[in-house]
């Protein structure tokens, strides 16, 4: 029995469009179902419409503090696992406040293997606490 | 090689403020560069993926996509190099305590280096820097500090999606820099580490307060700073009377070092 990777639904939130588009493409090549949002408004809309299982969140979004974006996403989608991605070398105070509730914290530039592994671990954590893997089509088994 | 001045008992008043300014520029710049490197890293990674996944599927590589990706890396490297050039020029502005310099160049540098700070507030710059503006004499880094404080103050009073217009104008014996808020006023003053120390004082200060806020820098430059009732701040600088030959200052080739001519 071989466990094949479920098509994890990922929302990538980053104001650097080139970065978001490229990382999205690389994750899609690895089998993830990825949506990218480059503004906080698009992020909230995408989260509501696609109900992602894992969110990669840039802490420095224009117009709203990253911690506020995190809190709003978590309150409207309590089951989602959020991985914080930041270009800053160190966490600021507000990032520290929320880091305990985030799945993990990655510093740019990131290795694609690390991102993929974190997404997978985050998805597994989410699935383990939700009944039936937390969704209809997740975690398929194949011979 | 310019002498490096370290803080001592005789350190000039305002040294800390300049250090804080340089620190802010560096933190914004390094954040920007980390993003540039992250984009280059991902684009190069995508290139590898296209080869690996294309090859693994047994099909042919998508040559057009590979070529486009290579070009994206080249463009990103150029953009990053341009930012590094700006920081290099910014650093060299401090080589001499007094020099003859081009005001438009100093504005272009500063706005390029702090653009991320502005865009994080969903604001943007609107530059109108006509050619032919005379050179001025003074300390260009002091002018950049003064402009940084003015920009920070204007930024603190603006609502999202507004602009900060910077316009230079040549009069008979002066060069005027007009710093103008364009758009709606902010409903409340945002408190952000990005605008410190400038935002520690309200943007709606009275003229007396304004004079105090900018006095140190304007005195050093021999400049006059005024603010109109609609929030427009003007910096009037005397043009240099020092006779000089053609300066490399007008050379705008990428990678060129700053070209301020020191005044002995």
Chain centre to alpha carbon of residue A70: 11
Tokens of A46: 């995408």
Query: Which residue of B38, B120, B193 is in closest CB contact with A109?
Result: B38
Average pLDDT over residues A10-32: 94
Q: Is the pLDDT of residue B238 over 80?
A: yes
**A92 contacts B42? CB cut-off 8 A:** no
Least CB–CB distance from B37: residue in A60, A89, A109:
A109
DSSP letter at B137? Answer: E
For A61, nearest residue in chain B (alpha carbons): B120
Average pLDDT over residues A70-93: 86
B42 to A89: CB separation less than 8 angstroms, yes or no? no
Q: What is the pLDDT of residue B61?
A: 74
ipTM: 0.79
A87 in contact with chain B, both atoms CB, cutoff 8 A? yes
What element of type H or E holds B53?
helix B15-56
User: Is residue A3 situated within a structural domain?
Assistant: no
Question: B192 or B217: which carries more pLDDT confidence?
Answer: B217
Is A108 in Cβ contact with B38 (below 8 Å)? yes
Asked if residue A24 is part of any domain, the answer here is: yes
Q: How far apart are CA B168 and CA B178, in angstroms?
A: 6
Q: Give B59's pLDDT tier (boundaries 50, 70, 90).
A: low
Distance CA(A11)–CA(B148), nearest Å, equals: 36
Domain over B98-245 is classified CATH 3.30.565.10:
yes
Report yes or no: B98 and B262 within 8 Å, Cβ to Cβ.
yes
Q: What is the chain A residue with the closest CA to B116?
A: A62
In this complex, is the C-beta atom of B74 within 8 Å of any C-beta atom belonging to chain A? no
How many domains does the structure of chain A reveal? 1
Q: Give which of A41, A73, A68, A75 is closest to A56, Cα–Cα.
A: A73
Residue A136 lies in a domain: no
Q: Residue B1: which of B122, B124, B96 has the closest Cα?
A: B96
In a domain, A91, yes or no: yes
- A117 is in which domain, residue-wise? 8-129
- Kindly tell me if the per-residue pLDDT of B84 is higher than 50: yes
Average pLDDT over residues B123-140: 93
The beta strands (E) that lie in chain B are given as 99-101, 124-128, 136-138, 163-170, 174-182, 224-227, 233-238, 261-262
Q: Is the pLDDT of residue B116 over 90?
A: yes
User: What CATH number should be reported for the domain holding residue A52?
Assistant: 3.40.50.2300
pLDDT greater at residue B51 or residue B211: B51
* pLDDT of B107 over the 60 cut: yes
Is residue A135 included in any domain, yes or no?
no
Arithmetic mean of pLDDT, A113-125: 95
Q: What is the pTM of this model?
A: 0.79
How high is the pLDDT of residue A109? 85
Higher pLDDT pick, B213 / A134? B213
Sorted by sequence, the CB contacts under 8 Å of residue B17 that are 6+ apart come out as B145, B197, B216
Domain boundaries, chain B: 15-89, 98-245
């Amino acid at each position: 029995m071989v466990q094949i990777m479920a098509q994890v639904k990922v929302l990538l939130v980053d104001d650097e469009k080139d970065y978001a588009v490229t990382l999205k493409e690389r994750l899609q090549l690895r089998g993830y179902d990825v949506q990218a949002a480059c503004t906080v408004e698009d992020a909230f809309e995408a989260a509501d419409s696609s109900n992602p299982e894992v969110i990669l969140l840039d802490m420095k979004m224009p117009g709203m503090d990253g911690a506020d974006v995190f809190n709003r996403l978590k309150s409207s989608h309590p089951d989602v696992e959020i991985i914080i991605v930041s270009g800053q070398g160190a966490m600021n105070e507000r990032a520290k406040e929320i880091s305990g509730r985030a799945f993990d914290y990655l510093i740019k530039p990131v290795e694609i293997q690390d991102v993929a592994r974190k997404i997978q671990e985050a998805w597994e954590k989410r699935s383990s606490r939700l009944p039936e893997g937390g969704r209809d089509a997740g975690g398929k088994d194949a011979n | 090689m310019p002498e490096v001045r370290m803080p001592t008992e005789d350190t000039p008043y305002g040294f800390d403020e300049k250090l804080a300014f340089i620190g802010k520029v560096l933190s914004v710049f390094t954040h920007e560069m980390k993003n540039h490197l992250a984009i280059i890293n991902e684009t190069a990674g995508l290139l590898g993926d296209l080869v690996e996944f294309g090859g693994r599927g047994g099909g042919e590589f998508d040559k057009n996509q590979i070529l486009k990706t290579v070009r994206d890396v080249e463009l990103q490297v150029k953009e990053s190099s341009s930012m590094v050039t700006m920081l290099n020029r910014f650093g060299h502005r401090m080589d001499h305590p007094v020099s003859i310099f081009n005001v438009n160049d100093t504005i272009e540098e500063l706005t390029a280096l702090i653009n991320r700070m502005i865009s994080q507030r969903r604001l943007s710059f609107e530059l109108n820097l006509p050619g032919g503006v005379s050179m001025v004499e003074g300390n260009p880094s002091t002018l950049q500090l003064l402009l940084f404080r003015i920009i920070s103050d204007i930024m603190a009073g603006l609502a999202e999606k507004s602009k900060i217009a910077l316009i230079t104008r040549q009069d008979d014996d002066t060069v005027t820099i007009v710093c103008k808020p364009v758009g709606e006023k902010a409903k409340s003053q945002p408190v952000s580490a990005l605008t410190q120390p400038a935002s520690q004082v309200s943007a709606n200060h009275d003229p007396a307060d304004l004079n105090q806020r900018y006095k140190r820098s304007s005195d050093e430059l021999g400049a006059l700073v005024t603010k109109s009732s609609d929030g427009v701040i003007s910096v009037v600088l005397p043009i240099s009377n020092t006779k000089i030959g053609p300066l490399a200052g007008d050379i705008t080739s990428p990678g060129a070092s700053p070209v301020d001519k020191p005044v002995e």
